Structure 1
């Protein structure tokens, strides 16, 4: 009786083993379009039976995924010079770089070369605006009575300290 049970168990295990190969139909129509299917090809397409085999995982056999080709070393081309066609101008002579401007805006600092838009973006609309000879001055007052005055040149750029 034990031998009958053992034989039944072995038969069930072998029947439940995964299948790693399958037949696949390689179908091509008159336009050259390819279709791969397990159900068969339509009547108006040519059919070819193709075996698809998946290697057992961890079988120790290397399975090439693609044909390896020798790498061709590219020919060295002579160095070419770089030509700058255009450059961005912030209207203030590019006295401050983009990263320094962002850093100043985040830390709420005033640096020479910043524009009026930069200052208004950081501190908001000024409390008073004074203009003399085409040069503007923004004045900001806080709740503690402190004032901050920012002077701009005729191009709308923050002036440096004199």
Structure 2
């Protein structure tokens, strides 16, 4: 009896299953946008039931390939040629220099008024000496020829002068 049960179970496992299919909800909003979900649609969208099935890879029957959509986007003509900056990152020094001027100065190993402490360290490296007096920070750099270069920062750690 036990062998018969095992044999029946094995036969059931080896039988080809029908095509697996599922039903999903097809949600369409007022603008015509479609969403397919298994959770149901929001109340403001129109709901329909969509039957979805996947063909078994070994069925031997050809399955049509999906055709790509050939929609063209038409861009509206520009209303104005004026550039509008919506947001700008504040560097903490009042954005006294532009990003381009900052990058060029860093490439040339120059220090400009309005650069941040991080900009100076990125450009010149770590200072040989750091001193502070009356809330003003001063970096001193020595080059290979023994020449000294000082960079002074204000209380916001922005370059306010150089010597």
Q: TM-score, normalised by structure 2?
A: 0.49
Q: TM-score, normalised by structure 1?
A: 0.50
Structure of greater Rg: 1
